[in-house]
């Protein structure tokens, strides 16, 4: 069964109602930011390669009212918790990991000379948590826009993205790339975003009602990038750079790759990065020409490469991809995000969506003992567009 998706307006209303209850005053400021899925281009962003993510029509929404000076009180319906943050403790990591994302962004803004006043804040979300759908980047960018609404001081989109990336790296301790925060901020409705991570230029790639549907299936296994495997992959890429005498894996040719053939794991890692960069550019052509079989094959190929060469998949994700690609009407499927759990995305004919979701769900539950979450997602607007319209 496809999970219900509350409307954007109802999320904003819930955030406003929650802050009114917390503070006893009407909400004065609101902000929101979407989650994302990556269509293709995984573990290429920190290798200065290409990625093709899209923002989804699921969001983190925040509302705020004036609060006690020097303090932020946050009520989160996501964690069913209420926490406080002292504004003179911006650089001492908060005891609650999810508060650190908010704290990290406030600290980054502070360094830009934007001082946060005392606030009461409510956070609500329709982004499935722990699914690798960038709920953390959404929380960071929503916080950035909220702060701008409150203070009337604005940073540029590039500075907002930078502030969020820094907050993520410092808060979560994950040396992440720039993909998540960039798409969460800059996405445009009905478009995927081709991002060249070397110079950070972007190009919208239409992915609208002419395209097949996108089904997201949550394995129910939480991804834990901070546990070291992500940083280890980055370190392996650095080692390969050194062996090849290049600064990044971006422009490594097939001939250069062949020079690593006796290097075991490093050869596998670079094989993934080189082939994934090729797949991203082929995927853009496939989308522009409406060749959905081709796009699906590239997605499934990407999954195989992540499973066998980059080794960031897991049994649950592999099972979901195998179940999905055996279904009629499915063009292709792959894990999305950092890996080790989280979600797969399935490119499926729109009129087959419900049936495919039900069958994958049933078979997965039979094998694993729990049902996966199924979500239909559409290419939505980024935080910049959303918050301008609020």
In 3D space, the residue among 285, 289, 243 whose CA is nearest the CA of residue 264 turns out to be 243
Among 301, 338, 341, 372, binds ligand GLA (CB under 6 A): 338
Residues of this chain, 142-181, that bind ligand GLA according to CB under 6 A: 176-177, 179-180
Residues of this chain, 249-278, that bind ligand GLA according to CB under 6 A: none
Question: Is residue 42 part of the contact set for ligand GLA (CB under 6 A)?
Answer: yes
Question: Is residue 45 part of the contact set for ligand GLA (CB under 6 A)?
Answer: yes
Cβ neighbours of residue 89 under 8 Å, at least 6 residues apart?
none
Question: Is residue 101 part of the contact set for ligand GLA (CB under 6 A)?
Answer: no
Torsion, CA 37, CA 43, CA 45, CA 49, rounded to 10: -110
Candidates 37-45, 81-89, 145-153, 359-367 — which segment interacts with ligand GLA by CB under 6 A? 37-45
274 secondary structure, DSSP code:
H
DSSP labels for 46-104? GGT-EEEEEEEEEEEEEEEEE-STTEEEEEETTTTEEEEEEGGGTTS--SSHHHHHHHH
HSE of 20, CA atoms in CB hemisphere, 13 A: 9
Q: State in angstroms the smallest separation of the CB of 110 from ligand GLA.
A: 23
Candidates 26-34, 43-51, 245-253, 322-330 — which segment interacts with ligand GLA by CB under 6 A? 43-51
Torsion, CA 373, CA 353, CA 298, CA 288, rounded to 10: -120
Q: State in angstroms the smallest separation of the CB of 337 from ligand GLA.
A: 5
Q: Which residue has the tokens 């090849």?
A: 244
Question: Is residue 327 part of the contact set for ligand GLA (CB under 6 A)?
Answer: no
Candidates 25-33, 41-49, 352-360, 381-389 — which segment interacts with ligand GLA by CB under 6 A? 41-49
Question: Is residue 46 part of the contact set for ligand GLA (CB under 6 A)?
Answer: yes
Report the interhelical angle of 315-325 vs 292-308 (nearest 10°).
Answer: 160
Q: State in angstroms the smallest separation of the CB of 128 from ligand GLA.
A: 15
The tokens describing 178, both together, are 């720039």
Helix (H, G, I), strand (E, B) or coil at 3: coil
What whole-number distance in Å separates Cα of residue 95 and Cα of residue 100?
Answer: 8
Phi/psi of residue 330, nearest 5 degrees: -100, 125
- Which of 52, 150 has the CB closer to ligand GLA? 52
What whole-number distance in Å separates Cα of residue 120 and Cα of residue 379?
Answer: 31
- Which of 49, 372 has the CB closer to ligand GLA? 49
Candidates 40-48, 102-110, 208-216, 238-246 — which segment interacts with ligand GLA by CB under 6 A? 40-48
Q: State in angstroms the smallest separation of the CB of 183 from ligand GLA.
A: 10
Catalytic residues, which ones? 180
Helix (H, G, I), strand (E, B) or coil at 264: coil
Contact flags string 177-216 toward ligand GLA, x per CB under 6 A? x-xx------------------------------------
By rule CB under 6 A, what count of residues binds ligand GLA? Answer: 10
Q: State in angstroms the smallest separation of the CB of 168 from ligand GLA.
A: 7
Question: Is residue 40 part of the contact set for ligand GLA (CB under 6 A)?
Answer: no
- Which of 120, 180 has the CB closer to ligand GLA? 180
Among 67, 337, 341, 382, binds ligand GLA (CB under 6 A): 337
Question: Is residue 128 part of the contact set for ligand GLA (CB under 6 A)?
Answer: no
- Which of 115, 169 has the CB closer to ligand GLA? 169
- Which of 338, 372 has the CB closer to ligand GLA? 338
What whole-number distance in Å separates Cα of residue 143 and Cα of residue 102?
Answer: 6
The tokens describing 26, both together, are 């009407």
Instruction: Give the start-end residues of each E strand in the chain.
Output: 29-40, 50-66, 71-76, 81-86, 119-125, 191-196, 201-206, 213-218, 330-336, 343-348, 373-377
Q: State in angstroms the smallest separation of the CB of 162 from ligand GLA.
A: 14
**Binding residues for ligand GLA (CB under 6 A):** 42-43, 45-46, 176-177, 179-180, 337-338
């Amino acid at each position: 069964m496809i999970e219900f998706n509350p409307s954007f307006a109802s999320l904003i209303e819930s955030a406003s109602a929650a802050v009114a209850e917390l503070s006893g005053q009407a909400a004065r400021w609101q902000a929101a930011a979407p989650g994302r899925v990556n269509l293709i281009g995984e573990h290429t962003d920190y290798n200065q390669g290409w990625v093709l993510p899209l923002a989804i029509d699921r969001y983190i929404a925040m509302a705020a009212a004036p609060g006690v000076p020097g303090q932020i009180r946050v009520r989160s319906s996501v964690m069913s918790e209420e926490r406080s943050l002292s504004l003179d403790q911006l650089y001492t990591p908060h005891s609650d990991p999810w508060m650190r994302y908010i704290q990290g962004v406030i600290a980054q803004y502070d360094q830009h000379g934007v001082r946060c006043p005392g606030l009461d804040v409510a956070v609500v979300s329709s982004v499935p948590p722990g699914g690798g759908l960038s709920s953390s980047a959404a929380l960071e960018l929503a916080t950035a826009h909220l702060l701008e609404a409150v203070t009337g001081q604005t940073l540029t989109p590039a500075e907002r993205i930078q502030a969020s990336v820094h907050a993520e790296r410092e808060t979560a301790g994950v040396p992440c790339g720039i993909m998540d925060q960039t798409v969460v901020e800059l996405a445009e409705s009905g478009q995927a975003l081709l991002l060249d991570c070397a110079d950070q230029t972007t190009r919208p790639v239409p992915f609208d009602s002419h395209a097949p549907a996108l089904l997201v299936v949550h394995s129910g296994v939480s991804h834990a990038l901070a546990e070291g495997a992500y940083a280890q992959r980055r370190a392996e890429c650095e080692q390969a750079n050194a062996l090849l005498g290049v600064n990044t894996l971006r422009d490594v040719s097939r001939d250069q790759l062949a020079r690593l053939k006796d290097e075991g794991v490093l050869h596998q890692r670079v094989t993934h990065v080189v082939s994934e960069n090729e797949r991203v550019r082929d995927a853009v052509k496939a989308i522009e020409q409406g060749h959905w079989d081709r796009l699906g094959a590239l997605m499934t190929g990407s999954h195989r490469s992540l499973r066998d060469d980059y080794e960031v998949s897991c049994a649950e994700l592999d099972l979901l991809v195998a179940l999905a690609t055996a279904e009629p009407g499915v063009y292709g499927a792959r894990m999305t995000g950092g890996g080790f759990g989280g979600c797969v995305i399935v490119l499926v004919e729109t009129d087959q969506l419900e049936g495919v979701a039900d069958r994958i769900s049933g078979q997965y539950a039979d094998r694993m003992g729990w049902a996966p979450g199924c979500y239909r997602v559409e290419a939505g607007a980024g935080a910049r567009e959303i918050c301008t319209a609020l």
